[in-house]
Structure formats: structure tokens, C-alpha cells
A = this chain, B = another copy of it.
């Protein structure tokens, strides 16, 4: 690999000049500029990011921390972040924390050691001390705590809409899944639904469940054993909803006539389920993009319109809910 020295020699100038041209900083005569640029092309020179990073204590890397790369919701977020960063000439180190704090610590360490200029985190432990004393900004994605800037979807509204749609379509004995207690986003959608259900003339049960694949199946079985009379289920995410749908069909429930299901997230596979899953859509890709933009604004010291960006959610009507007449 050619170095800045090679370029300088070839162009017949000093490394300082090359550096200036490279970074469009300080003066450089038009002619020398051309000389340098030609040399750069001829040698196919690319600056060494490591050397740059060492001096400036800043790389062009962003750390992205995901809680569970197997849940299709997160790759979708990642795509949004990635696309936005790419447009800004930045790159991502994606870390999968796997819901384990040790892994998370380990990744944060790596991020630090590689001079990332910022972190976007969607893990479950951002409230803890892990993120303290960092010399670069942190943006939370799909997560909320008091202290960090964040991008998330409106969980209260999401829960509310889910409950409304469920009631409106006639379910009377509803099971409400409550995601991980420590996740503010999970609790928001839960609360939103609870509030709405309390006001409605329906019975409902609460079942606490994790977000992960592994637990979803067991949870689904238990649900139908304990509450066989349930005629409507508001799931905490699409993964759980898929497991529930599967189990419901297995035991011969008729969907949506006898049992309605509403998921949460709208992961790509939701529409491939059969019947396709009615769900509350979180704009995952856009959330990722917004988080990336927010982080960049912070890094560049741009004034922030708002520190916490909330995106709207929408009800996606598919086939696990019954049709009703529209009366707007």
C-alpha cells in the first residue's frame, strides 16, 4: 500500500502539502493540488485510517450494539443505520450483545479501543453504568432512558391502538403479553394497551414473556393451557405472535373468527405467515436512519431540534383480525 510519503515524493512536494490537499485544509496552489491529486490517482493511494485515527483520536467508525441479531427486527434497524452512515462516509462495527452484559462490555471496550466516534445502542442495559465515562456520544435506539438522546417509536400509542383494534373487532377475553420488565419500550406498549383495556368492557389477562425466539414457543403453549377461553391476544412482538399463531392453529383454533391476534413490530416475515399477521408496525428502517442522523448531529455539534425523537406507529391490518365496517 502506498503511503503519504510515496505520494509526496511522486508529486515532488512535502507530506504536509499532500495532507492539506487530502483534507482540503489550509492553502494549496491550484497547480500543486493537481500534481498531488494526479499522484494519488496514479498510485491508487488510500489514506491509512489507522494512522489517521491514532493522531486524531477519532476514526470513521460507529459502533452499533444490538441485543439479538436473530430477531429480524434488529437487522432492519441495522440497515437503516448502515445506509445513513454509508452516505456520510462512515462505517459500522456491529456488535451482537446477545442479551449478555459481558458481551456488551466487551464490545464497548472494542469500540473505545478502536476510536469509534459514537455508539448507537439498542441493548437492554443502557440504563446501567456501562455507558458512563465515554468520550464520545451515545444514542439509544428503540430504547429510552432519561439521560441519553434516543430514537424510538411511540409505544404508548402502539399499545393503545392494538387494544382499540382488538376491542373494536369484538374480542372480549383478551390476553395481553407483557415483554421484558426492564425494557421501557416494552412497558410502554404494555401500558398503552392496559389503559385502553381498562376503559373497555372486556376481561383481560396479563402474561409476562421475553422477546426471544427460544421462549416464545413455551410461552404460547402455557398461554392456551392457562387461558383456553381467550378470544384475543395482543402480543409483545411479532416473534411471540408467530409462536402463538402457530400454537393456536395447532390446537385447532380458528383465526380470526374464534381468536384474534395482533403482533408488534411488523418484521418482514409477518406477512408471510398464514394467516398473515395483523400487527403494529414500528418503522424500523426509519428509526435506524433517524438514530444515525441524530448521532451525526451530536457529533458535529449541530443544534438539536429534539433530543428524543419519537416516530409514529401504525396498525397494519392483515388476516389475524376480523374485518369491521369503517366508520371514521
A interface list, Cβ under 8 A from B: 1, 46-51, 53-54, 59, 61, 69-70, 72, 75-76, 78-79, 82, 86, 91-96, 98, 103, 106-107, 109-110, 112-115, 135, 213, 216-217, 239, 242-243, 245-246, 249-250, 268-269, 271-274, 276
Chain B residue numbers with a CB within 8 Å of A59 are 50, 114
Cα A103 to Cα B92 in complex, Å, equals 13
Chain B residue numbers with a CB within 8 Å of A98 are 79
Cα A280 to Cα B7 in complex, Å, equals 54
Cα A91 to Cα B242 in complex, Å, equals 33
Can you tell how many copies of this chain the complex includes?
A: 2
Structural contact, B46 and A109, CB atoms closer than 8 A? yes
Chain B residue numbers with a CB within 8 Å of A107 are 91
Least Cβ–Cβ distance between A215 and chain B, in angstroms: 13
Cα A242 to Cα B269 in complex, Å, equals 8
Q: A89's closest neighbor in chain B, by CB?
A: B106
Structural contact, B250 and A272, CB atoms closer than 8 A? no
Residue pairs across A and B with Cβ atoms less than 8 A apart, 6 shown, are A48-B54, A50-B114, A69-B79, A70-B79, A246-B272, A246-B273
Least Cβ–Cβ distance between A90 and chain B, in angstroms: 10
Cα A274 to Cα B243 in complex, Å, equals 9
Cα A70 to Cα B74 in complex, Å, equals 9
